[in-house]
Amino acid sequence: MSSHAGHGHHDAHAPAHAHAHAHGSGGDPATDIDWDVLGPLLEQEAELNGVPYEEAARWIAGLPTAPKVRRVLDIGSGPGVVSCLLAEVFPEAEVVAVDATPALLDRAKDRARRLGLSDRFRTMEAELPADFDRLGEADLIWAGNSLHHLGDQRAALAGFAGLLRPGGTVALVEGGLPTRRLPRDIGIGEPGLEARMGAASATRFERMRSELPGAKRETEDWAALFTAVGLVPQGTRSFLLDLPAPLSGPARDHVVASITREREILGDLLSAEDSAVLDRLLDPRDPEGLHHRPDVHLLAARTVHLGRRD
């Protein structure tokens, strides 16, 4: 499992998605990953989503059925932004950032050290499902947009359920809404650019899923899947990231970086006209581009589904 984003949305609008879905055949630009470039991009994306992720973690901590959280597994942790947040929200817990990429785990260690969390923070290089038996027990398993990188999602959920201590919870971040950063009509090209990019991303996502080892199609009724693996559904909530125009400098930089990445990975799934419009949007000299537009914003919803072991 190479999710690393762990904490984006499963559309190409999150840079995490651009990395995490790098399962394709040779020649896909998403498979030629420069972690010195993508690592900071993943961190920036997760940091911008800090408020909704903290709201989600505090929702879990405040539930009447919440267990005493002594050990947390962050599956597909990437650079550890959410792992560290979970360590802050659950101050008595050991948090284990689990990922398949050493370069990202190094970033997670550095972040925990900077935040003074090293005494309760561990990293584990692991590839799922092969390494399930190495993960150990947990009171909370956070799977942030990582389950869909495993071919047999039902079996993976059963694996998570088997790791939970009595009363423990799986927090599954899946679904939500595609990120929006531009108006429907931006004044150049055909209106609806981001909707068409979303459709291209959905095609790419389905291709990624079909190429995973042991891929099985599942109806994405997460409550039903929790029940099927012996967990009790504990509710679903969505958390909003809403950064209206005009964006701050860092948020605008993130939008530019993420759309640059999408332009690369969606490739020929986009029409020639839309590709040309994206080239204009990414040109820092173009007055209609992302660097100068006053209408650039950042709006997304992350959905969290909870299942508890009795």
What tens digit of pLDDT does each residue of 243-293 get? 999 999 999 999 999 999 999 999 999 999 999 999 999 999 999 999 999
At residue 204, the pLDDT reads 96
pLDDT at 8 over 70: no
Q: Tell me: the pLDDT tens digits for 137-172?
A: 999 999 999 999 999 999 999 999 999 999 999 999
At residue 16, the pLDDT reads 35
What is the C-alpha to C-alpha distance for residues 114 and 96, in angstroms, rounded to an integer?
17
Q: Tell me: the pLDDT tens digits for 39-72?
A: 888 898 899 999 999 999 999 999 998 889 999 9
Handedness of CA 262, 174, 84, 158 (dihedral sign): negative
At residue 3, the pLDDT reads 45
Structure pTM? 0.90
Helix (H, G, I), strand (E, B) or coil at 248: coil
Q: For residue 212, how many other CB atoms are within 10 A of its CB?
A: 16
Going by C-alpha positions, the residue among 125, 145, 266, 105 that lies closest to residue 200 is 266
What is the C-alpha to C-alpha distance for residues 54 and 116, in angstroms, rounded to an integer?
18
Q: Tell me: the pLDDT tens digits for 64-80?
A: 988 899 999 999 999 99
CB 7 within 8 A of CB 145: yes
